[in-house]
Amino acid sequence: MFHKILLLAVVGISLVYAQDSSAKIANIPEASGIDYCANSNTLVVANDEGWYYEISLHGRLITKHKVKGDLEGVVCHKNYFLFAVENKGLLKVNRKTNKKQFIPIEREYKNKNIKLISKNSGIEGIAKVGEYYYLSKQAKKKKDSFIAVVKIDNNRATIVDIIKLKVADIAGLTYYKDFLYMVSDKKDKVIKYNLDERKIEKKIELPKSAQEGIAFDTKGFFYIADDRGSILKYSQELLYKAKK
């Protein structure tokens, strides 16, 4: 009888989790960016005060370090992390030694000065697509919003394309299964973007929070870095069921 009751209790908990489809897995102050590390099956989280954390998919802290700068996004590589530093550029950090290397971004594109980094705003999100990195510009107005596509050679990043969007405050980016996903802190939405056709495929509403980053794992979940101090875990079913 005891084993039957225990089994029912476990099933009940699973059903509640499936229906809710989300859970808070970690407390990280001012979480501003997140990425999934496939080689270690972990998450890396950046925060506004220059801290970065590596945690398990259940939220257990593995390690944390601090660097200088306002970290707004991160891409996980096998041997290093690449951070978007809001008002400076890109920062490469060795995962084993914590050795740091700053990577400046050239400001010109087609003979025009691109204001990716300015006095009161800068880079808010970063995602890797093939050999390129996509950087979102902080913008409160739709008309000022864009994504700069850069390529890194000889430790310098050069802008090779600009994607104009009518989405305010693109706070986080990630690339997953041939689509670019972004979150808007202002709109509480996940936006699915078709890079080939340069159009928005879908907008998915999220519970109200301060979304600053998004990442997908390989087990059917995605994660939101909440600037109010949380890492939230959602079932990907939320994205599949949402209407356009």
**pLDDT digits over 111-128, tens only?**
899 988 877 778 999 999
Residue 202's pLDDT band (cuts 50, 70, 90): very high
In a domain, 13, yes or no: no
Average pLDDT score over residue span 209-221: 94
pLDDT tens digit sequence for 35-85: 999 999 999 999 999 999 999 999 999 999 999 899 999 999 999 999 999
Nearest CA-CA partner of 29 in 56, 58, 51, 62: 51
Question: Domain count of the chain?
Answer: 1
In a domain, 11, yes or no: no
- Per-residue pLDDT of 143-157, as tens digits, reads 888 999 999 999 999
Q: Give 164's contacts (C-beta < 8 A, 6+ positions apart).
A: 145, 146
Q: Quick check: is 119 in a domain?
A: yes
Average pLDDT (20-46) is: 92
Q: What is the mean pLDDT of residues 182-198?
A: 89
DSSP 242: S
Query: Which residue range forms the structural domain that includes residue 231?
Result: 25-241
Alpha helices in the chain (DSSP H): 2-20, 237-241
Residue 193 main-chain phi, psi, to 5 deg: -120, 130
Please report, for the domain that includes residue 78, its CATH number: 2.120.10.30
**Span 127-137, average pLDDT:** 97
104: in domain? yes
Give dist(CA 104, CA 102) in Å, integer: 6
10 part of a folded domain: no
Evaluate whether residue 184 is within a structural domain. yes
Mean pLDDT along residues 98-117: 92
CB 117 within 8 A of CB 138: no
Residue 17 lies in a domain: no
For residue 151, being part of any structural domain is answered with yes
